[in-house]
Structure 1
Amino acid sequence: MVITTASTTPAASTASMTYRCPADGSRAPVESLAWHCPTCGGPWDLDFAPSSPVPLKSLAGRVNSLWRYEEALPLAGGAAAVTLGEGRTPLIPLTDTISAKLDFLMPTLSFKDRGAVMLAELARRLGPARVARVIADSSGNAGTAIAAYCARAALPCTVYVPEATSPKKTEQIRAHGAQVTLVPGDREAAAVAARAAADEPGTFYASHVHNPYFLHGTKTYVYELWEDLGGRLPDAVVVPVGNGTLLLGAALAIAELHTQGLIDSRPALIAVQAEAVSPLATAFHAGAADLTSDTPTPATPPTPPTLAEGIAIPRPPRAPQILRAVRESGGTFLTVTEDQLRAAQLDLAARGLFVESTGVACWAAMTAQQPQMGHTAVVPLCGAGAKTGLAPR
C-alpha cells in the first residue's frame, strides 16, 4: 500500500455536498467553511447517502485503510487521499460473549484518527485559496489526531486544549508541528476558545463535534466490525459517550447497512458515561429528549474531575441526536464509577492491553453487567495507556 498525500485535488468532489441543520433544516455549501447553523448555532449533518452497497466479497483486495469503504464515504479515496494507514484494528475476544476492538492501535493511538483523516482530506481538497489554517479543540486525543493528519496533508494547525490536558498528549500534538493553545478551565472552556477563533477568514474548524465529515469517518468502526464478522454485527455495540462522535458514527453505519439489506437487524447501542459527568445518561433515564440547559454562565460550576477525561462533556452539542439514536436502537445508557474505571484499566493490563482510563469505560460497564449479559457485544478500547499512564488512586 502506498501512503501518500498527492498534490492538490480539485474541490469538485465536494461541490454537490451541503451541510444541513438537523434542528431547523438550514443549509450551507461545504465550501463555505460555515462550521455551525447560522440560525440556531447547532452542529451540521451532511446530505449524503451511499450510492451503492459496500461489496463485502471484494474488500480483501482493497487498500488496508479506512478508504477501503469508499462507497460509504462522502469523499472518494484513491491514491491521492490523505492517509496514515488508519483503521483495520484487531478484534479479539475478552469473554465468550464480549469482544474488544483495539482502536488504541491507530497511528496516533486513538479511534479519533477515523474522523481526523476525513477532516484533513476535506480541508486539503478545499485548497489553500479557501483554507489558510486549521483549528481544533480537544481534551487531547482528537487534537493529536487532527495535528497528525494536518501534518500529513501539509496544513498549518492550532489545537486548543484545557490547561490540565496530559503533558504526553500536548507533547504529541506539538511533535506533529501543530501549535498548542492551553486554555484555563475545563474541556468546555477549550471549545469556547476555539469557536471564538473559528469565524476568522480562511479558518477551517476541524471540529469533531460540529463537522459531520468526522462522523462519516468514525462510522468505519462499524463497517470494520461488519467485515470482520463476515457480514453481520453483534447484538450490542457498546461505546463511550462524551460528545458522541463514535456513537453517532456507529448509528450512521448501522442505518446504512440495514437500508442496503446488508444486515437483517440493527444492534442495540449501549452508551457509557462516567458517573461523575453523565448528563446524557441522566437525561436518557429521565425520558428527556435533550439536556435541560446547554448555555454555560459565569456561575456554572467547573466539570467534576474524572479519570475518563475524554468523555467528561457536560453539554454535548449533539445531545438530542445521541439520545434519539440510543432510544431508536433499543439500547440504554450505563455509568461507571472512578473505582470501576481503575479496576477495568488494571484488568485489561493484566490481559496484555494497556488502555487509557477513558478508553476502558466500556469494559468497566460490561464487567459490571456481565451477570445480566445474554447477548454478544463489542467494546472499543479507544486510547493507548501510554498517553496518560495508570489511573492514580
Structure 2
Amino acid sequence: MLALMTAYVCPRCGIRSPADALTWCCPQCRGPWDLEFTSAPVSLTSLASRVNSLWRYEEALPLATGAPRVTLGEGRTPLVPLTDGVSAKLDFLMPTLSFKDRGAVMLAELARRLSPPRVLADSSGNAGTAIAAYCARAGLDCVVYVPEGTSAKKLEQMRAHGAHVTVVPGDREATARAARDAADEPGTFYASHVYNPHFLHGTKTYVYELWEDLGGRLPDTLVVPAGNGTLLLGAALAVEELYGHGLIDSRPALIAVQAEAVAPLAEAFAAGADDLLAPSDARPTLAEGIAIPNPPRAAQILRAVRATGGTFLTVTEDQLHAAQVDLARRGLFVEPTAAACWAATRASTPRPGLTVLPLCGAGAKTGLGGGRG
C-alpha cells in the first residue's frame, strides 16, 4: 500500500488544513505546517528494480500515487570516503547542482496537481534554482524572490529555466518577508522550502539513500548544515520512520553545523533553550546559505538534535575557507556553505563508527570563497 498525504497541521496550535489548499501557514500563529502523514516500510530487496530517482521510495513519500510524476532523475548521489571513518554524500551532483532538488521535486509535483494561477518561492540561491527548474519541468510559471547580492550565476540559472526573478533590497530576511506578503495574495502557491512540509519529505530521501547504500543500516553519526534546517529535519523524519518500522536498530546522532558568524541555533542549544533566545541579525559569512538569524522551525530543529543525543558545532570563516580549499584539492569543488560540515568535522574530536556528511552545493555556482548558498 502506498503512503498517502492527508492534511497540514500546525505543531504549535493544532490547527489543521487540507493538504490540497493554498493556505501556506497556520492562520493563527503564522508558523510553518507539518504534514499529517504515515509512511509504510520500504522493502530493501525491492529497490534494485525501481525507478532511479527519489520516487523509488514511494512507500515513504506523500504524492507517490498517480503517474506521471515530476522528475529530473534526482537523487542516488554517490557516497565517497574522505578519511578513515568519514564519508561524504555528493548531493552537489543533483540536476541543479544542490541538494535542494530533493524538496523542490515534491513542491513542483504538488503544484502540478493543484494547478494554481501563480507559483512563488524565495531563496538566497539554491532553492530558487531548484524550484525554477522543477516548475519548468512541470510546465508551471514561477516567480522567485531573491536578496540583492545573490550570485549572478544562480540568477542566470533561474532565468534560464524561465523563472521571473524579483530582486528584493536588503538581506535574506527582508526577502522572506516580501515573499510571505506576496504569498497571501489569492491563487498563490507558496513553494516555500521552509513553510511547506512536503519539502522536508523530499529531503528525507537523503537518509533513505544512505540506508540503501549501506545495505539496510545507517551511519553512526550524521553531520548536517543548519540554517533553516530543511536537510536536518528531513533526515530526522527518515530516521524516525526507519526506526519506527524496525528497519534500523538504533538512531544515529545528528550533529548540526552553523557558521560562527550566524549561529542562533547553536547559541540556543548551548543555553538549554527550547527555542531561539532572541531575534538576531545576520553578520557576513562565507556560508551564506545557512546564515539564517531567525529560522521559523527553530524549536523543531533543537528538539530533533537533542532527541538523537547530538549537538551543534560552529565554524569560523578561516575554517570554512580552508575546508573548501581542502575539498577542492581532493577533487570535490563545492561552494563555501557546502564545506561547513567538513570544516566542523576536521576541527572536532572524531566520533566512533562511520560519520557521513553532505556536500550540498557545487562550487561552479559561486566560485572559491564567496557567493550565496
Q: Sort the TM-score into its range (normalised by shorter chain).
A: over 0.9
Are 1:148 and 2:127 an aligned pair? no
Q: CA deviation at 1:376?
A: 1.4
Where in structure 2 are the equivalents of 1:75-114 lying within 5 Å? 75-76=63-64, 79-114=67-102
- Quote the RMSD (CA, aligned, Å): 1.5
CA contact (8 A) 1:108 1:148 kept: yes
Aligned length: 370
* 2:347 partner amino acid: A
* Preserved CA contact (<8 Å) 1:18 1:29: yes
Q: 1:47 aligns with which of 16, 36, 51?
A: 36
TM-score between both structures, scaled by the size of structure 2? 0.97
Match for residue 4 of structure 1?
none
Residue number in structure 1 paired with 2:190: 205
Whole-angstrom distance in 2 between the partners of 1:186 and 1:287: 29
Match for residue 319 of structure 1? 298
> Which residue matches 2:367?
389
Match status 1:329 vs 2:302: no
Distance 2:3 2:83 in 1: 44
Task: For residue 289 of structure 2, give the secondary structure of its aligned residue in structure 1.
Answer: helix
- The offset of 1:375, in angstroms, is 2.8
Percent identity between the aligned chains? 75
- The question of 1:33 aligning with 2:33 is answered no
Residues 4, 37 of structure 2: 8 Å contact kept: no
Report the secondary structure of 2:210's partner residue: helix
Query: Would the aligned equivalents of 2:3 and 2:61 in 1 still touch at CA under 8 Å?
Result: no
Q: Identify unmatched segments of 5+ residues in structure 1.
A: 1-12, 295-299
CA drift at 1:14: 11
CA distance in 1, matches of 2:242, 2:210: 12
Which residue of structure 2 lines up, in the alignment, with residue 265 of structure 1?
Answer: 250
Instruction: Tell me, yes or no, if the aligned pair for 1:103 and 1:111 is still in contact at 8 Å.
Output: yes
Aligned equivalents of 1:141, 1:324: Cα separation in 2: 26
Please name the residue that 1:379 is paired with.
357
The answer (yes or no) to whether the contact 2:3–2:64 under 8 Å persists in 1 is: no
| Structure 2 counterparts to residues 1-393 of structure 1, below 5 A | 17-50=6-39, 52-76=40-64, 79-126=67-114, 128=115, 131-294=116-279, 301=281, 303-369=282-348, 371-391=349-369
Kindly indicate whether the alpha-carbon contact (under 8 Å) linking 2:107 and 2:198 is maintained by their aligned counterparts in 1.
yes
* Aligned counterparts of 1:30 and 1:202: Cα–Cα separation in 2: 15
Distance in 1, Cα, partners of 2:22 & 2:111? 9
**Contact kept in structure 2, 1:45 and 1:211, CA below 8 Å:** yes
AA partner of residue 92 (structure 1):
V
Distance 1:264 1:27 in 2: 33
Q: TM-score, normalised by structure 1?
A: 0.92
- Alpha carbons of structure 1 residues 111 and 15: separation in structure 2 relative to 1, 3 Å: closer
Using the alignment, how far apart are the partners of 1:54 and 1:42 within structure 2? 31
Question: Would the aligned equivalents of 1:14 and 1:31 in 2 still touch at CA under 8 Å?
Answer: no
Instruction: Please give the alpha-carbon distance, in whole angstroms, between the structure 1 residues aligned to 2:143 and 2:97.
Output: 20
Contact 1:254 1:266 in 2 (8 A): yes
Alpha-carbon separation, structure 1, partners of 2:153 and 2:131: 16
Offset of residue 372 of structure 1: 3.5
What's the CA shift for 1:292? Answer: 2.4
Contact 2:3 2:59 in 1 (8 A): no
Q: Return 5+ residue gaps in structure 2 as ranges.
A: none
- Give secondary structure in 1 for the equivalent of 2:323: helix
